[in-house]
Amino acid sequence: MINSRAVQISAEIISNKKVGAYNHMVFAVGEIAANCRSGNFVAISVGGSSSSLILRRAFAIYRASLRSDGVGLLELVIAPQGSGSKWLVAQDSGDRVDLIAPLGTAFGIPKEPINALLVGGGYGSAPLFSLAETLKARGCRVDMVLGASTAGKIYAPLEGKRSVNSLTITTDDGSAGIAGRVSEVLPALIKEHDVDVIYSCGPMAMLEAITVISQQADVLHQCSVEESMACGIGVCMTCVLPVEGDDGVIRMTRSCIEGPVMDGNKVLWNRSREIPDGVWGK
Amino acid sequence: MSINFSTSIGGAFFANPIFTASGCAGSGKELSHFFPLTSLGAVVTKSIMIKPRSGRATPRMAETPSGMLNSIGLQGPGIDLFLENDIPWLRDQGARIIVSIAGESVEDYAVLARKLRNVSGISALEVNISCPNVENRGQVFACHPDTAAAAITAVRRNIGGELPIIAKLSPDVTDIALIAESVITAGADGLALINTLLGMVIDITSMAPKLSQKTGGLSGPAIRPIAVRAIYQVRAAFPKIPIVGMGGVTNGRDAFELVLAGANAVSIGTATFGNPMAAIHIKNELEELCQARGFSSFSDAVSYAHRVEE
């Protein structure tokens, strides 16, 4: 079912700052902030009332907090790639947007202190910093790997870095950190930090690669998947991917309702543009 | 002053003329998080088939100017699980229910009608004969008068009783009034106009079709003038047939346009993706607009654009 705490509101933009290749935006969202968990996302209406952009845009929540005066804040990191996100980052403080939050599943937080490895690709690092804080508060060891094509696309704010024990950066072009992909540094880090759980967010190819590594190393893998959505609330059936359920049946599963955070080992990673064999109802 | 906002489709009564469009609201569960389903005229459920269906591989969707393409492929649990889970839940909500069915053969429609004939709490049946996503040796029932009639005849013969049948037609035809005539003769009590139009988007980076199935159904405000035209043409040909209008309705003004063209009810589809409250806003705006134009009863506004001024 849809996140039971999801609410649709008109949210005021409190601030909008360019950070590298991204925009960090803060919205006043009232009581919603207290109900947001790391991994949840928001769906925002873009383009204004006469826009030709008719579909909502989904964004992972970077952080949700209470300001000292009690105002609930929601922070997003936006990559202005498409026409919708470009419109959003062009809005000013004081403007309002139609926003539904919180949506989707959240990262599972262990009851016991564990060793966690957080892996983000590009703006996929967005939900990982609040997750790191939560895990730290539970006494976990938290190591982080962030990868991107180039240095400008690594999103790693100073305050975020404080909540991790170590930060490893990889870039495809070698312009920052280690040249290469995140998957290349993971096996060594898993061993070095005796990792129990990998938390990941980023492009699907990266999540697939991490799933293979997590299976080889026999560690749990919670990933936040990225399938394009039309509605974000479970009615359009656009954002599906093949996932094995608790009953062992593989179904085309909505990433907006039963995701975005999923058990990586239960996802049938598939980029064939065909429904894989064994999926229910194929 | 409030107006009489009720409507009827082939003997079925609805408290207001705003419905969901099949395939755009599931079976209502998600939308019920935002508003009580009793505030809709009816919930039109996602077209259900005999067997469970995985639907198509992704990408299933491409946004287009004022519209979108979809090729979901009728993903669903199949009629048995639907009757076991979705219908009892909708009945518990007190919602008015229109069940939409889709088949791959004439026999499929007959089987589905038999499965539904004794189910209580259903107000009408929508027969989806126009979904362009279903593989049927390249054929779509709704695109030929004979095959359209064959599907409706199969439902008519097997449904029994008083349950109104609404035939959902495709606008991808040369003469939609001809198809309408054919399904009315076959026993349809009403028409749903219009389904999506077949379209295609090519990604200019990958230089390949954007959707995994290459083509998809176009919906959204981009197709609204086509819906208005189709409804107007069919209404002109059949002054009495109940019509459920749909196609890119985003606000009360759009809904009113379809009503003036001849729609006895208006279904809200793609607008719900942009705003889960769309149907409720549209209902309120349509009621205000009918009142502002001087109608004391919604039914007086239906087909008003066809009037001959004295």
In whole angstroms, what is the distance from residue B27 CA to residue B102 CA? 15
Q: Could you give the C-alpha distances from B309 to B228, B299, B304, in angstroms and in order?
A: 21, 19, 11
Class of domain A7-103: mainly beta
Counted domains in chain B:
1
The answer to whether B250 faces chain A, any CB pair under 8 Å, is: yes
B185: domain CATH number? 3.20.20.70
Q: What is the mean pLDDT of residues B204-222?
A: 96
pTM of the full structure: 0.96
In this prediction, residue B1 has a pLDDT band, given cuts at 50, 70 and 90, of: low
* Token duo for residue B123: 């107000």
Q: Do B66 and A52 touch (CB under 8 A)?
A: yes
The answer to whether the Cβ–Cβ distance between B54 and A280 falls below 8 Å is yes
* Within-domain flag for B310: no
CATH topology identical between A7-103 and A115-224: no
Among A6, A55, A273, whose Cβ lies nearest the Cβ of B212?
A273
User: Could you tell me the residue range of the domain that residue B178 belongs to?
Assistant: 7-55+73-201+219-305
Q: What is the pLDDT of residue B132?
A: 45
pLDDT of A51: 92
Which tens digits make up the pLDDT trace of A166-221?
Answer: 999 999 999 999 999 999 999 999 999 999 999 999 999 999 999 999 999 999 99
Place B135 in a pLDDT band, splitting at 50, 70 and 90: very low
Topology (CATH level 3) of domain A115-224: Rossmann fold (3.40.50)
The residues pairing with B218 across neighbouring beta strands, listed in sequence order, are B69, B197
Q: How many CB atoms lie within 10 A of CB B212?
A: 17
| Contact between residue A104 and residue A260 where contact means Cβ atoms under 8 Å apart | yes
Q: Tell me whether residue B68 is in a domain.
A: no
Residue B207 placed within a domain: no
Domain locations in chain A as residue ranges: 7-103, 115-224, 231-282
Which of A52, A273, A281 has its CB closest to that of B65? A52
In a domain, B131, yes or no: yes
Whether A100 contacts A93, CB under 8 Å: no
Measured between CB atoms, does B35 come within 8 Å of chain A? no
pLDDT digits (tens, 9 = 90+) for A217-237: 999 999 999 899 999 999 999
pLDDT over 90 (residue A163): no
The partner residue sitting opposite A230, judged by closest CB among B25, B56, B68, is B68
Chain B closest-CA separation from residue A190 CA (Å): 32
pLDDT tens digits, one per residue of B26-76: 999 999 999 999 999 999 999 999 999 999 999 999 999 999 999 999 999
Q: β-strands B243-245, B265-268: how paired? A: parallel
